[in-house]
Chain A
């Protein structure tokens, strides 16, 4: 029989061996020579930390008490691994693309990198794992005592033993779990050590099995008969409990922090999953195949009252097989230590990343921003977290005391960690899941679980006993053992259905009722559709972005000044001399935030990701960016169009307003002019008619003269009204032309005849020899053309101030036009007034008002335009020269 000291020495030697393996593996990995480390076999073996000391020893105990129910603990994970393609592959793919460091990080990342959610999950996981770690410590001390107490007189101090175990495990975890801060959070030394431990525990259990079947029974046939005859055969299985436990263990393998660590974080190649999918269930099959034989033989051979949980160890001991027992001891020790090491590491990562570091950063921000070695702080945080977790486990072990309570903790812990399953699975497959939904669901499930299972089991003897047995404030239906009227049912199943059910319902309802933030939306898309945009499962690159590229991009978006300030500040904060900061994650995050203010979160995230080495820039990202950009562009182009439209409208309005103002001014001036033109002759008419009516002191000659003035002014009024109406008709385009075929001579003769009848005609001599002048047929309104000619002739009659006024009328033919020129021998029209003569009511300075209203030329020009020709003043010649042009094509055109 091995002495206690010998046992301790073996254990210490074994641990030293593990250290050696781990060191060697780390060294090989550092040299890039540890290919076997990255093999599917190592990966599968590392997964075996699922089978802890609880299952190593406890499976036999469970079989002895409850028959085949222990199989459910393997059945759930087996189903999950068989369906690896749907869930595990996605989990691993997301883990590598998102650089996930823990289950808490996974949940937090999915829901918009929520720090609060990460902290909640971390706390939940620590609470769930602490009893589990205590359980491992208990199993180690129990196995020690199984060896020692019956034989040596030496008193073993369980507590001291547990402290030694905890201390050793903490040391191992700290040495191999926190050597450096690896971006990928991978630990080759640690993984190789637990892979070795997996082999040890498997062979230890198989060795016991072989010894039991062939050494104690007479081979397999005898064994089967013994099993048939054993009490185990009569234990009927509870269907509901089977389904429940299978689901629970399936959930646990996804949610347990240590499983997540080896399954996702330590995974170096996604393809290893395909191997693990059959190899891990096979491992579990091998490790459980001898459970029932050991339990049956144990029940038959061991004295009544012996602890079935220790049959694995006590059976070989009872047969005097010390070496085999030692091997089993090492197997159980391996199962316990590997679980504790990985669990402590996973929990420490979460604690330091999601609770200690955020708190530390917040606390030190104001005093001394960004100073000190962050890496050192992070590593210290992890080391203290590991020590803290070990201490918690130890404390729980010491406080809980009884073995019964601890054994029950395995499944309870499973259900505790399973509370993140709805949020995890929802996050993987449902884009509508939101941070609020996840947080509310987890907290609800956690609360129900704690009330129904954790508190009654962990604190049943403590201060809460009254509350737990009588109900809070005496409300009986709130008591854990009859919660909502569930008295008499299986407490574990009840708690499972209630906590996970409420958790899921709250998660879905709150998710539907809340809106995801942009980052949540983006992360949600990346998680749910991870396979749409990631490719080969090759290693994940660290940020490769250069500060220069980032600055160029930042300049484009933030403007040169703001970008330079941002980079300068960051560089100074990092303690660098230059203006260029290191593209650290902190800086990238800050840059992303700044950019997001300008271009939106999805765009900023994608831009930074693209420059820093393609991390997470995916089709989905780009789609999100495109959506965002398209929205912004659509919005801004709408705005642009609107503002352009507004500008056009405003310009049009201004133009129209200008025109209206001008028109209004013109109208006022026109009305004023008309008023003047009408009132002037009316003044004479009224004044003279009143004189005539009084008629005193007036001779016949005077009376005749005044009557004539009245008559002339009346005619002037009539003419004026005629002209106004004529002009109005012409200007409005309502004039009706009566074109006919006439010769130019005919029209001109008509005009000459008309003007010769006027009294002014006597003064003016007209030089126009129609006998020699050119002539031609034109198709035009002869009356209107004649009106123009009359106007021009009478203007010369009225206004030519030469001593012997003469008017020369010439007809010419050009390729396109017939031209008729009217040239008098007067002084001509002063240059400054030439532009005005065709305006209405314009009379030249110095002309006598009575001679006309100043509408003649305006009317004439309108007429010529209607006839398709033109009327112009010819400034180059002496005298007043007007040129009438008629298009030839108008001739005979009809």
Chain B
């Protein structure tokens, strides 16, 4: 079973890089560049995990995260936040709002991959999670 990842990111180059990395790891990646419509995309696509940039056009990634956590349908959905701001308080805010992980740009590809795999495994939907049924 392939994990479905929704990537919400407005920087085209970063989008391309992450998509490439995750696809190569066997995940199905859909990208979305607009913060305002990200929640609809979540409903439509029903991903196993969301990689969410903080600084998005039109709507902040933190706002989207808050909405996800307050909706029963998505409150348990794993979210990995991406940020280029790199300040401790941003990280605390994100984790406080219920993000599963927090990645500061620039990140190591393998590290990102490890984190995603780890989260997905914990949720029992990991790529290699056959044992979990």
Whether chain B is bound by chain A comes out as yes
Residues of A bordering B, CB below 8 Å: 672, 675-676, 679-688, 690-691, 694, 697, 709, 712-713, 845-846, 848-850
Q: How far is the CA of A484 from the CA of B113 in the complex (A)?
A: 117
A684 near B17 with CB under 8 A, answer: yes
Contact B11 A675 (CB under 8 A): no
User: Would A676 and B57 count as touching, CB distance under 8 A?
Assistant: no
Task: Tell me, rounded to whole Å, the shortest Cβ–Cβ distance linking B54 to chain A.
Answer: 9
Interface residues of B in 1-40 (CB under 8 A from A): 10-14, 16-18, 20-21, 24
Closest chain B residue to A679, Cβ basis: B84
Could you tell me if A679 and B105 are in contact, using CB atoms closer than 8 angstroms? yes
Distance A680 CA – B13 CA, assembled complex (angstroms): 9
Please determine whether A850 and B109 come into contact, CB atoms closer than 8 angstroms. Answer: no
- Are the C-beta atoms of B107 and A683 separated by less than 8 Å? yes
Chain B interface residue count, Cβ-Cβ cutoff 8 angstroms: 25
Assess the B55–A676 pair: CB atoms within 8 A: yes
A676 to B54, CA, bound (A): 11
Known interface pairs A680-B14, A845-B57; A687-B86 also in contact (CB < 8 Å): no
Q: Is B85 an interface residue (CB 8 A)?
A: yes
Q: Are A687 and B21 in contact (CB under 8 A)?
A: yes
User: Is B12 within 8 A of A688, CB to CB?
Assistant: no
Q: Is the CB of A676 within 8 A of B13?
A: no
Which residue on chain B has the smallest CB distance to residue A687? B17
A686 adjacent to B58 (CB under 8 Å): no
CB closest residue in chain A, given B16 = A709
- The residue that A687 contacts in the complex, of B18, B24, B85, with Cβ under 8 A, is B18
B85 → chain A closest CB, angstroms: 5
Q: Is the CB–CB distance between B105 and A850 below 8 Å? A: no
- Decide: A680 and B21 in contact? CB cutoff 8 A: no
**Measured between alpha carbons, how far is A683 from B84 in the docked complex, in Å?**
8
Q: What are the 10 A-B residue pairs with the smallest beta carbon separation, nearest first?
A: A687-B17, A679-B84, A684-B13, A683-B105, A686-B106, A683-B106, A676-B84, A679-B105, A690-B109, A682-B106
19 A-B pairs whose Cβ atoms sit less than 8 Å apart in the complex: A672-B85, A675-B84, A675-B87, A679-B84, A679-B104, A680-B14, A683-B14, A683-B84, A683-B106, A684-B17, A685-B106, A686-B107, A690-B110, A691-B20, A697-B24, A712-B13, A846-B57, A849-B10, A850-B12
Q: Is the CB of A688 within 8 A of B17?
A: yes
The reply to whether B17 and A679 contact each other, CB–CB distance below 8 Å, is: no
Q: A676-B55, A687-B17, A691-B109 are in contact. List 13 more A-B contacts (CB 8 A).
A: A672-B85, A672-B87, A679-B105, A680-B11, A683-B14, A683-B17, A686-B106, A687-B21, A687-B109, A690-B108, A694-B109, A846-B58, A849-B10
Are A687 and B14 CB-contacts (below 8 A) given A676-B84, A679-B86?
yes
Pick from A675, A681, A686: contact of B85, CB under 8 Å = A675
The answer to whether A680 touches B105, judged by C-beta atoms less than 8 angstroms apart, is: yes
Chain B residues with Cβ below 8 Å from A712 are 13
Q: Is the CB of B108 within 8 A of A709?
A: no
Which listed residue, B11, B20, B86, B108, touches A686 by the CB 8 Å rule? B108
Complex Cα distance, B53 from A778, in Å, reads 49
Complex CA gap A461/B21 in Å reads 135
Let me know if B13 and A713 touch, CB within 8 A: yes
The residues of A that contact B104 with a CB separation of less than 8 Å are 679
CB-CB under 8 A from A691, the residues of chain B are 17, 20-21, 109
Q: Nearest-CB distance from A97 to chain B (Å)? A: 83
In the assembled complex, the Cα of A204 lies from the Cα of B14 at a distance in Å of 141
Cα distance A682–B14 in the bound complex, in angstroms = 10
Our pick among B11, B24, B85, B86 for the contact of A849 (Cβ within 8 Å) is B11
Contact partner, B106, options A679, A697, A709, A849, Cβ 8 Å? A679
Question: How near does chain A come to B71, taking the closest CB pair, in angstroms?
Answer: 26
CA distance A832 to B38 in the complex (A): 25
B58 / chain A contacts, CB cutoff of 8 Å: 845-846
Decide: B105 and A682 in contact? CB cutoff 8 A.
Answer: yes
CA A691 – CA B21 in complex, angstroms? 8
**A690, B58: Cα distance in complex, Å:** 31
Q: Is the interface of A mostly helix, strand, loop or mixed?
A: helix
Q: Which of B17, B21, B108 has the most A CB atoms < 10 Å from its CB?
A: B17
The 0/1 profile, CB within 8 Å of A marked 1, for residues 93-115 of chain B is 00000000000111111100000
A571 to B72, CA, bound (A): 84
Contacts of B12 in A (CB 8 A): 848, 850
Q: How far is the CA of A681 from the CA of B13 in the complex (A)?
A: 8
Complex contacts, A682 vs chain B, CB 8 Å: 105-106
Report A873 CB to chain B, min CB distance, Å: 22
Residues of B within 8 A of A850 (CB): 11-13
Contact with A along B55-86 (1 / 0, CB 8 A): 10110000000000000000000000000111
- In the bound complex, residues from chain B placing their C-beta under 8 Å from that of A684 are 11, 13-14, 17
Residues of A within 8 A of B11 (CB): 680, 683-684, 849-850
Contacts of B86 in A (CB 8 A): 675, 679
Q: Which residue of A lies closest to B103 (CB)?
A: A683
Q: Which of chain B's residues have a CB closer than 8 A to the CB of A683?
A: 11, 14, 17, 84, 105-107
* A697 contacts across to B, CB distance below 8 A: 24
When distances are taken between beta carbons in the complex, the residues of chain A under 8 Å from B24 are 697
CB-CB < 8 A to A675: which residues of B? 84-87
- A688 contact set on B, CB distance < 8 A: 13, 17
Complex-state Cα separation, A506 to B90, whole angstroms = 85
- A466 CB to closest chain B CB (Å) equals 101
- Chain B residues lying within 8 Å of A690, measured Cβ to Cβ, are 108-110
Among residues of B, the one whose C-beta sits closest to the C-beta of A672 is B85
Contacts of A679 in B (CB 8 A): 84-86, 104-106
Docked Cα-Cα span, A684 to B105, in Å, equals: 9
Give the residue among A672, A697, A846 with the most B Cβ atoms within 10 A.
Answer: A672
Docked pose: A685 CA to B109 CA in angstroms: 11
| A686 neighbours in B (Cβ, 8 Å) | 106-108
**Chain A residues within an 8 Å CB radius of B105:** 679-680, 682-683
Closest to A668 in B: B87
Interface centre among B10, B57, B87, B105 (most CB of A within 10 A): B105
* Complex contact B57–A687 (CB within 8 A): no
A681 to B12, CA, bound (A): 11
**A687 vs B20: C-alpha distance in the bound complex, in angstroms?**
10
Closest A residue to B13 using CB positions? A684
Bound state CA distance, A672 and B11, in angstroms? 17
A690 vs B109: C-alpha distance in the bound complex, in angstroms? 7
CA distance A672 to B21 in the complex (A): 27
How far is it, in angstroms, between the C-alpha of A681 and the C-alpha of B21 when the chains are bound? Answer: 17
Chain B nearest Cβ from A602, distance in angstroms: 66
Minimum CB–CB distance for B66 against chain A, Å: 20
Inter-chain contacts of B108 with A (CB < 8 A): 686, 690
A130 to chain B, nearest CB (A): 98
Which residue of chain B has the shortest Cβ distance to A686 in the bound complex?
A: B106
Give the chain B neighbours of A713 by CB distance below 8 A.
Answer: 13
Q: Report the minimum CB–CB distance from A449 to chain B (whole Å).
A: 93
B106 to A: closest C-beta gap in Å: 4
How many whole Å from B84's CB to the nearest CB in chain A? 4
Q: Which B residues lie within 8 Å of A849 (CB)? A: 10-11
- In the bound complex, how far is the Cα of B10 from the Cα of A543, in angstroms? 97
B20 surroundings in chain A (CB, below 8 A): 691
A848–B9 CA distance with the chains assembled, in angstroms: 12
| A845–B16 CA distance with the chains assembled, in angstroms | 22
User: Across the interface, which residues of A come within 8 angstroms of B17, CB to CB?
Assistant: 683-684, 687-688, 691
* Chain A neighbourhood of B109, CB < 8 A: 687, 690-691, 694
* Chain B residue nearest to A671 in the complex (CB): B87
* Residues on the A chain within 8 Å of B55, using CB: 676
Knowing A687-B18, A687-B21, the reply to whether A676 touches B85 (Cβ < 8 A) is: yes
Instruction: List the B residue with the shortest CB-CB distance to A709.
Output: B13
Task: Specify which chain A residues have a CB less than 8 angstroms from the CB of B13 in the assembled complex.
Answer: 681, 684, 688, 709, 712-713, 850
Report Cα–Cα, A709/B16, bound state, in Å. Answer: 10
CA gap between A848 and B105 in the complex, in Å: 19
Distance A849 CA – B16 CA, assembled complex (angstroms): 15
